[in-house]
Amino acid sequence: MKKIENLNYYELLEVSPTATSQEIHKAYEQIRRVYEPNSLALYSLFTPEETASITQRIEEAYRTLVYDEQRKKYDAMLRGRDVLPDLPPPPPEEMKYQPLSVQPMLTLPAENRYIGAPKSPAPKPAPPKPVPEMVAPVSQFIAEFNGSAIRMLREQKGFTLRHIADSTKVGTRYLECIEAEVFQKLPARAYIRGFLILYAKTLGCEPEKMASDYLKRYDAAMKLIKK
């Protein structure tokens, strides 16, 4: 348990130290709304001065974490302090950085059934190098997105169809059909494209590539059916 003044920036914004900058931005927008003056949920706990000082710290935290350079400096400082016992959940050193690069996770070659043996010369992309975009690395390894590839990707990320459905607002039935490539049960082509783009964004892979690959298969299959 910590006093508010002792919370580090990540705890203050309620994000994990491995959060991406998009996540940080989102968390900041939400928490700023919580700690605005006149907030219903707060006035009976915190005095206006306290609320103001918390808000100020939140701003500070956001401005530090959202810029890569400053975040690195701050992380380094935290790691330096982690030795101190007063930070009870001490994420081991690497934890601070690695996830940044691991986080487009599918690239972990050892476990990735997808990448297969031949790709093994490209093992772990050097951990200290932060990966700027979560998109690129995945698609390098997956030559073509088809239904089962999408499912594998999803399972590797540990998502259930329910999770995907919750964030894309596409029904699980359609998602199932997309993964199983049951093209007849899917709606018109234009809708599928929309679904795929949403799905790809949730998985963190390249939307355009996933949609076009998949639709190529779709078109081929549909042509056969029509004949």
Partner 1 sequence: MIELQDALRKKEIWAIGGGKGGIGKSLITGNIGITLARLKKKVLLVDADLGGANLHTTLGIGVPDMTLSDFLNRRVENLQDVIIKTSIPNLGLVSGAQDFLDAANPNFAQKTRLMRHLETLDADYVLLDLGAGTSFNILDFFLFADHGILVVLPEPTAIENAYRFIKSAFYRRFKRVVADQNIKNLIDAAMDQKNAMGIRTPYDLIERVKSMDREVGEILELEVLKFRPKLVVNQVRTKNDIQIGFAMKSACQKFFGINLEYLGYVEYDDCVWQSIRSKRPLTVEYPYSRPSRCIERVVHNLLRKEQITRSMLY
Interface contacts to partner 1, rule CB under 8 A: 1-4, 7, 14, 30-31, 33-34, 39-46, 54, 166-167
d(CA 212, CA 189): 11
The distance of closest approach from Cβ of residue 84 to partner 1 in the complex, given in angstroms and rounded to an integer, is 17
The distance of closest approach from Cβ of residue 42 to partner 1 in the complex, given in angstroms and rounded to an integer, is 5
Alpha-carbon distances, residue 223 vs 34, 45, 188, 209, 226 (angstroms): 53, 65, 14, 21, 5
The distance of closest approach from Cβ of residue 43 to partner 1 in the complex, given in angstroms and rounded to an integer, is 7
Contact 10, 19 (CB under 8 A): yes
The distance of closest approach from Cβ of residue 25 to partner 1 in the complex, given in angstroms and rounded to an integer, is 14
Contact 170, 199 (CB under 8 A): yes
User: Which of residues 54 and 78 has its CB atom nearest to partner 1 in the complex?
Assistant: 54
**Amino acid found at 179:** E
Alpha-carbon distances, residue 163 vs 25, 83, 155, 156, 199 (angstroms): 21, 37, 11, 13, 11
